[in-house]
Amino acid sequence: MAFNLSGYLRGRTELVDAALDRWLPGEELLPSALHRAMRYSVFAGGKRLRPVLVLASGEAVGAAVERLLPAACAMEMIHTYSLIHDDLPAMDDDDFRRGRPTNHKVFGEANAILAGDALLTEAFRLLADPAANRGCDPAAVLRVIETIARCAGSQGMVGGQVVDMESEGKPVDFATLQYIHTRKTGALFLASIQAGAWLGGGSETQVAALTRYGETAGLAFQIADDILDIVGDQTALGKDVGSDQARGKVTYPALLGLSEARRHAEELRDLALAAIEPLGAGAEPLRAIARYIVDRTS
């Protein structure tokens, strides 16, 4: 029987949404405006890809979902903070995201900067929260915190954003494109996979297999995103088609051509599937996700 990915995604997304709502400070707490701004962007209709990756990776090594939820929610908070800051006037200057006004359009620039700062900080608080981590090995939790911070920091996601901005409107070679993509999107993708594997108590061999999956599927995801920016359906996508091109951003299709970019994404998907072949039935969600990433239209 084929694995029911949409059922899996729905179930896991509901768990993540409920946990985010439980752990994010409520609007009744001071300062309300700040907590409202944080929640506005966290609950703005994101696909929860990174949290689902944490859960699917941990489940692939046999872990219970409960102990994976803090890291899953932390990844979504970090992802959301990065979107809020990327959208700022000084950065990409976007007025809309997923069809809704961006954080700074609603709450003002200062509050948007601070809401991003607070989400990033709250992610690490939650990762280290003793109540949320009951029963977890403290050394494994520290390893997860270090990995997530490394992947999100100056040589990971933030570094990718800096080089992406520096490259706008300039001729960019393949090495630079790969630098940007492995960091801007790939780093959090990989961190999610590794966090799940470690918190789930995976063996060294299992963690290595999942790491390979995270590296290849993460890059495939970004290439597919680039392709969608050209051929995608604007309504399904929730942003302007061709917006990367319009702002002179370098993309895989622009550099390799559309069909070669597609071939590359499919090759990476197959490498990802091969990497986790030994993990058996528990890795079925990760397999379905790798296929979906490359075949999706939005």
Residues that bind a second copy (CB under 8 A): 25, 29-31, 33-35, 38, 81, 85, 88, 90-91, 108-111, 113-114, 116-118, 120-122, 124-125, 127-130, 133, 138-139, 141-143, 145-146, 149-150, 152-155, 158-159, 161-163, 165-166, 179
Under a CB-based contact definition with an 8 Å cutoff, are residues 50 and 76 in contact? Answer: yes
Q: What is the DSSP letter of 65?
A: G
For a second copy, give the closer residue by CB, 142 or 246.
142
Closest to a second copy by CB, 11 or 159: 159
Q: Which residues of 122-148 are buried (b: 16+ CB within 10 A; e: fewer)?
A: bbbebbbeeebbeebeeebbeebbebb
Q: Residue 51 or 116: which CB sits closer to a second copy?
A: 116
**Minimum distance from CB of 8 to a second copy (Å)?**
31
| Closer of 155 and 234 to a second copy (Cβ) | 155
Q: Closest distance between a second copy and the C-beta of residue 118, in Å?
A: 4
Q: Pick from 228, 240, 236, 237: which is nearest to 94 by CA?
A: 240
Q: Could you tell me if 26 and 15 are in contact, meaning their C-beta atoms sit under 8 angstroms apart? A: no
Q: What is the smallest separation between the CB atom of 140 and a second copy, expressed in angstroms? A: 9
Which is closer to a second copy, CB of 78 or CB of 219?
Answer: 78
CB 40 within 8 A of CB 103: yes
Residue with tokens 């703005």: 44
Phi and psi for 100 in degrees, rounded to 5? Answer: -115, 155
Closest contact distance (angstroms) between CB of 178 and a second copy is 12
Structure-token pair, residue 80: 């959301």
278 burial via Cβ count (<10 Å: 0-12, 13-18, 19+): exposed
Q: Which is nearer to a second copy, 4 or 121 (CB)?
A: 121
Q: How far is the CB of 35 from a second copy (least distance, A)?
A: 6
| Rounded distance between C-alpha atoms, residue 4 and residue 8, angstroms | 6
Minimum distance from CB of 3 to a second copy (Å)? 35
Angstrom distance (rounded) from CA 33 to CA 44: 16
